[in-house]
Amino acid sequence: MREILGRRRRLLLGRRRSGKSAMLVGALTCATEWNWPVLPGVGLRSGSGGRSCGCPHPDCVVPGAHPFDPGLLAATTDERMVRWWWGNRPSAPIVLATGGQAPCAVSLPAVAAARALAELDAMGVRLGPVVATPSRWSILVAPYSLEVLGELLHNQDWVPSSLRFHGEGGYLVLPPSETGAGQVRWERAPLPGSAAPWLPDVEAVVDALVEASTGAPGGGSRLAY
């Protein structure tokens, strides 16, 4: 059967538009339905040596996966601002400003994270959304204070340096963003619906995350980005 070129062209354009609009849809869902403050990340740029971070630092350790311009303090839930940002930069990563009224997170290397999730499931701990890149997973938790986190960590015999805590003043890149570490996806996606996703308290998960990281290759001390 002879291919209809006009129809094929429309389909290809539709796919491109869908790919770009997916970032805007994701950002709007976070900001307007879940009331999570977001802003566009710096993203990646293409060059002769491949793709690198869009920021001025050639040795950036988290390429594409951080705020730059605007800065983190610009994060908002305002629909008009979100539409303007992603209207101008449709492929920009979605950066969540953690803490305050927004979710916090605990992240760890992917191998240890898979082990921790299996252990938490076996314990019957209810989990919320989990964000994954090829190298790290992040478990979203309810907002916590530095005082609460400090007390939890003080009670641990040892905390692996591979664990990261995204609290007040921190940030996390959300799906369906793409960064230098690869595609950002939901390992456990939020349940569909307009209500903000349910989040566990950090106390419910930190013990299992520390134990899983400690048992990871290299003792969990290797800080993998």
Residue 8 lies in a domain: no
Residue 10 lies in a domain: no
Residue 225 lies in a domain: no
pLDDT digits (tens, 9 = 90+) for 8-19: 434 333 434 444
Residues 6+ apart with CB under 8 A from 112: 162, 209, 212, 213, 215, 216, 220
Residue 1 lies in a domain: no
Q: pTM value? A: 0.84
pLDDT digits (tens, 9 = 90+) for 147-178: 888 888 888 888 888 889 999 999 999 999 99
CB atoms within 10 A of CB 89: 17
Q: 162: domain range?
A: 17-220
Residue 194 lies in a domain: yes
Residue 96 lies in a domain: yes
CB atoms within 10 A of CB 76: 16
Is the pLDDT score of 61 beyond 60? yes
Give phi and psi for 90, each to the nearest 5: -65, -20
Residues 6+ apart with CB under 8 A from 68: 41, 42, 54, 55
Residue 203 lies in a domain: yes
Residue with the bigger pLDDT between 215 and 9: it is 215
Cα angle, residue 213 at apex, residues 207 and 217 outer, rounded to 5°: 155
* pLDDT number for residue 215: 60
CB atoms within 10 A of CB 94: 27
User: Beta 104-109 vs 178-179: how paired, if at all?
Assistant: unpaired
Number of domains the chain contains: 1
